Amino acid sequence: MKEHLKELIAAARGDTESDLVLKNGNILNVFTGEIETADVAIKDGTIIGIGTYNGKEQIDVSDKYICPGLIDGHIHIESSMISPAEFAKAVLPHGTTAVVADPHEIANVAGVEGIEYMIEAARDLPIDIFYMLPSCVPATGMDESGAVLKAEDLDRFYQNSGVKGLAELMNFYGTVRGDEDILDKIEGAVKAGKAIDGHAPGLSGNDLNAYIVAGVGSDHECSNTDEALLKLRRGQWVMVREGTAAKNMDKLLPMFDDMYCDRCMVVSDDKHAGDIVKFGHMDYVVRKAVRSGKKASNAVKMASLNPSRYFDLGKRGAIAPGYIADILVVSDFDLFKVEMVFKNGKLVARDGQVTADIKSRINPEDYPRVYNSFNLDPVKPEDLALKQKGSKKRVIELVKNEILTREVIVPAELGKSPSGIQIDKDILKIAVIERHRRTGHIGIGFVRGYGLQKGAIASSVAHDSHNIIVVGTNDEDMAVATNAVLSNNGGLSIAQDGKVLSSMALPIAGLMSEMEASESEDLLIEMKVMAKHMGCKQGIDPFMTLAFTALPVIPKIRILTQGVFDVDTQSYVSAVFD
């Protein structure tokens, strides 16, 4: 330790050569917002100096900008629908050198084994994947997941240095009412000295006070500036989310201003691999902020230094002596084109291509619950028949570019359509089919705003319990689409006229593929285009939006395995009633 420190000090003084020097770069200082033209010297994976240096290797980056590696402060890797190794290949060229991930998707399917899989899959990758432990498996006790995790199941993971805390407390309803199970999990995180993340859309007043008193330090569900400011005033960190389905950044742009940015960070939460490859990851958010008139220094800080501080990630997130040499060379701030990515001082991506050797080290036989996660018989059309009667029906209305929903009451008109489907009024049938424990439960409801004019779409990605969710214009195609997902051991499918038109297999817990990101992107884009041609509306992601329709902790109403669910009252309500 002492000898190594002496070597770093000598190199910092310029008495010995550095390993690598980036010459003549324009360095973005996330502490002061200044741009400084100088060399950046690196030795043994550490930035040892900014000034004038010589190195064994020197790269001239004149007229380029040097920034810290970007950090996504909240993401579910499973939502990219590719394995952690392929995820690393996708985000590294975009300048992401670290992420803080919540594996609650796979934990809802495979429990502790799912968490163990994600930790092992992240080992030895040229990106730092830190984890927050899933707090709500299942999301609420009203849902049916593949596992139930208690505090004692989580506590042992805090001994892992890569585990940074307790992930989003989605069950804010239970948290503010002193639910014993939730308090046990909070106590475990507090004892370990770890962070606790929040997830409380619309929470305010004394309930918000109670939520923060419980120890919740952040929130990524703010959908407008007023909500964000309220939570900032109460001491929470605000995570500005820009993902595939939930795009909150436009309404939260004031958070990039000097007055607020020190307590904010940018996150993606859920993002498809195709969107990462096509548009970018954290670099996309920085670029968008700058083009919206915000300071590049603030945007980069919110995507680097701030998450590092909040999660206690060590010396990451800045270009400064003693910091880990996670470094980007970018063209300029308006385009924010990432030209070179260094991880621990090693070049890992250049001009959009990964240069590091990235391989999965997972043996599927070691994770039977992850790779064999379906316990369900094929579904028949009659299983999806509407069993309720009444003069009114309760419809889940989707909101463009949001994961919030509205409750709409309309005439049932079952005489005109016994199924309750009214394609001309954009009212489709939606169902969630339990797939973990062979309960036979199938929840049936109605949805408006999806737009499908023919056929059906099904997926085993259905937050957070990940049963099979299917939406369609008729029971026959809904059954065909569901059974295609089942036969692939998980995935996405599109059916029409009794035939499967397209499908993607997701054999890793029914959530992730082992395909390369580009291959996954091509297939997913093809399926999304097909869904749009079948009528799926703009502003509605055919798969990501559908997945969130089953999440019982986001207002207002959802569809679960046992029917339509009112989030505000945490109770089931009738799809059809008088």
Of 468, 412, 465, 463, whose CA–CA distance to 442 is shortest?
Answer: 468
Cα torsion angle, 148, 170, 429, 577, sign? positive
Q: Among residues of the chain, what percentage have pLDDT more than 90?
A: 86
- Rounding to the nearest 10 degrees, give the CA dihedral for residues 20, 25, 28, 29: 60
Res. 204: pLDDT tops 90: yes
Q: Among residues of the chain, what percentage have pLDDT more than 70?
A: 100
More confident residue, 531 or 400: 531
Check residue 517 and give its pLDDT.
85
Rounded Cα gap, residues 46 and 64, in angstroms:
21
Check residue 398 and give its pLDDT.
95
Q: Span 553-559, mean pLDDT?
A: 91
Check residue 140 and give its pLDDT.
78
Check residue 239 and give its pLDDT.
98
Alpha helices in 340-495 (DSSP H): 368-371, 475-487
Check residue 496 and give its pLDDT.
98
Assess whether the previous peptide bond of 364 is cis (omega < 30° from 0).
no
Check residue 553 and give its pLDDT.
84
Rounded Cα gap, residues 184 and 542, in angstroms:
38
Res. 388: pLDDT tops 90: no
DSSP, collapsed to helix, strand or coil, labels residue 546 as helix
Domain at 69-315, CATH class = alpha beta
CB 185 within 8 A of CB 216: no
Q: Span 536-561, mean pLDDT?
A: 92
Q: Count other C-beta atoms under 10 Å from residue 9's C-beta.
A: 12
Check residue 1 and give its pLDDT.
78
pLDDT band at 361 (very low <50, low <70, confident <90, very high): confident
Check residue 417 and give its pLDDT.
82
Q: Whole-number mean pLDDT of the chain?
A: 95
Alpha helices in 123-236 (DSSP H): 151-155, 172-175, 180-191, 205-213, 225-233
Alpha helices in 78-193 (DSSP H): 84-91, 104-122, 151-155, 172-175, 180-191
CA 405 to chain centre: 19
Least confident of 19-28, 211-220, 296-305, 540-549: 540-549
Residues 130-145 have pLDDT tens digits of 999 999 898 878 889 9
Check residue 282 and give its pLDDT.
97
Check residue 424 and give its pLDDT.
93
Rounded Cα gap, residues 467 and 465, in angstroms:
6
Q: Span 54-72, mean pLDDT?
A: 97
Question: What stretch of H or E contains 533?
Answer: helix 517-533
Q: Where are the domains of the chain?
A: 69-315, 374-577
Burial label for 347, CB within 10 Å (0-12, 13-18, 19+), is middle
Check residue 244 and give its pLDDT.
79
Residues 81-132 have pLDDT tens digits of 999 999 999 999 999 999 999 999 999 999 999 999 999 999 999 999 999 9
Question: What's the full length of the chain, in residues?
Answer: 578
Check residue 404 and give its pLDDT.
87
Residues 241-269 have pLDDT tens digits of 998 777 899 999 999 999 999 999 999 99
Check residue 544 and give its pLDDT.
87
Check residue 141 and give its pLDDT.
81
